[in-house]
Structure 1
Amino acid sequence: MKSLKRSGLVELTAEALTEQIAAGTWPVGSALPGEVKLAEQLGVGRSTVREATRALVQAGLLESRQGSGTYVLSTTPRDSWGSALHAAQVIEVYEVREALEVQAAALAAHRRTDDDLVRIRAAFEAREALVADQVARAVAFVDADLVFHRAVVEAAHNPLLLRIFDSFVPKLTETLVAVVREQSLVGHDLDATHAELLDAIVAADPAAAIAAVTSNVHETIQILRD
């Protein structure tokens, strides 16, 4: 495969993978190479590969099997959802994200397992470790932030909610990296809402979880509008 060096790496990576799938490099039912190998082949970072494969999962080309890997499900996209999402305004995506994550947070507070709590705590700590250096390490910080939110959605144990969240990741990543680099999030009380969300899920308190997510997303939406 050619190394990808232009802008829009997530989209370009998804396109390159789609071409390889259509060409039969990985037949339907076969597993894709791991993130490290794909990243080396394409000349991009692991987070870029991760976001691109999530987009192709949403498009119906790939299937992610927990603990096993990512497998080719089809050689053609299932529908036009990816195109509709790509064309959507960022505020529209965030308004839908709020509805999704409010429900996910409430379900996570009810359904989380001990393993879920371990993943959520680890993701929270990884995010916290980057807070002070978030402007200089914007991509890493945003990636860690979205890993934390994904861990919460995963704890809801609703595969459809998780698939919808994953479809948002490329759009959210691009926007949030730009916002963080402009220091628009610095000085806002978003970190407190993440701690509140973690505490609410640990305490199995759906109402507190909903309040934490609502506060977090509302403040981010206001920052984007400003």
Structure 2
Amino acid sequence: MPPLHQARRSLVDLAVEDIGQRLAAGQWPVDSRIPTEPELAALLGISRNTVREAVRVLLYAGLLEVRQGDGTYVRATTSPAEAMRAISRASLREQLEVRALLEEHTARLAAQRASPQDVARIAHLLTVRGEQQQYPDAADFIHRDLDFHLAIAEASSNAALAELYRYFTLTVQDSILRTMHDEALPDPDLASHQAIVDAIANGDGKAAGAAAAAVTRPLLQILDSLLPVSPASPTPPITARD
């Protein structure tokens, strides 16, 4: 028989999973109040102590929040930590697809909304970035490249979109590292990035999105040509029936 603390931990884990699934399914929408502790205990068939510990875990994860004197409310239906783990497990192509979508959209918005100061900052960061070949340390180049793209996201004047790009930065960095370490996946040159800056400076959202796509989509096309073709599943043998 396992020690008591291990059994208790297991019950809490199950309760966290159960409540998390109900949140994801929309049983309690964002900004709604979840049932009280006794109600949750009855609903889940567990003790109030277990419910209390499970709620603490979900509070820490950012899914729930306590409003003093009013109860516990739903703050989010999915865990940012779980989302990040899912992104980190995604394939290189999947990560580059998301990167392409984010960069195209932020470039379009930046062209429509960027201030002269934003444009000057983006242009300056591209100058600082330069070309990959001038960096002995690849990590330095990656940081400069990300600074440039993040400045575009911030110039979109959409805080949620900019935060999403910032949240995705670590995965993008990993994607860039793997891209640069594969000679068949070249890093787009300075001129292709300058086209993004020019379109933003001209207020041309369509051209900015197209220029951003010109940076990312060729990588996806080259990657597709390198992916191994999965063999067809063998046809199961036909067996005689009695």
| Interval containing the TM-score (normalised by the shorter chain) | 0.5 to 0.7
Q: Which residue of 2 aligns with 1:43?
A: none
Q: Are residues 1:98 and 2:109 paired?
A: no
TM-score normalised per structure 2: 0.56
Q: Aligned letter for 1:216? A: V
- Deviations 1:181-213 (CA, angstroms, capped at 9, x unpaired): 444555x65322101000001111111101101
Q: Aligned letter for 2:92? A: V
Q: Which residue of 1 aligns with 2:139?
A: 139
Q: Are residues 1:114 and 2:116 paired?
A: yes
Distance in 1, matches of 2:81 and 2:169, equals: 18
Structure 1 residue 222: Cα displacement = 3.1
Task: Give yes or no for contact 2:96–2:175 (8 Å, CA) kept in 1.
Answer: no
Structure 1 residue 108: Cα displacement = 0.3
Distance in 2, matches of 1:79 and 1:181, equals: 28
Distance in 2, matches of 1:220 and 1:116, equals: 28
Q: Are residues 1:198 and 2:200 paired?
A: no
Task: Give yes or no for contact 2:132–2:138 (8 Å, CA) kept in 1.
Answer: no
Q: Aligned letter for 2:145? A: D
Aligned residues: 150
Q: Aligned letter for 1:131? A: Q
Pair 1:171–1:79, CA change in 2 (3 A)? closer
Task: Give yes or no for contact 1:127–1:141 (8 Å, CA) kept in 2.
Answer: yes
Task: For structure 2, list consecutive stretches of 5 or more residues without a partner in the other structure.
Answer: 1-60, 63-78, 227-242
Runs (4+) off by over 6 Å = none
Q: Are residues 1:212 and 2:214 paired?
A: no
Distance in 1, matches of 2:182 and 2:169, equals: 20
SS of the counterpart of 1:157? coil
- Deviations 1:21-43 (CA, angstroms, capped at 9, x unpaired): xxxxxxxxxxxxxxxxxxxxxxx
Q: Which residue of 2 aligns with 1:89?
A: 91
Structure 1 residue 172: Cα displacement = 1.7
Q: Which residue of 1 aligns with 2:150?
A: 150
Task: Give yes or no for contact 2:99–2:172 (8 Å, CA) kept in 1.
Answer: no
Task: Give yes or no for contact 2:111–2:204 (8 Å, CA) kept in 1.
Answer: yes
Task: For structure 1, list consecutive stretches of 5 or more residues without a partner in the other structure.
Answer: 1-58, 61-76
Q: Aligned letter for 1:211? A: A
> Could you say which structure has the larger radius of gyration?
2
Distance in 2, matches of 1:181 and 1:92, equals: 18
Task: Give yes or no for contact 2:100–2:212 (8 Å, CA) kept in 1.
Answer: yes
After superposition, residues 62-77 of structure 1 pair within 5 angstroms as none
Q: Percent identity?
A: 30
SS of the counterpart of 2:134? coil
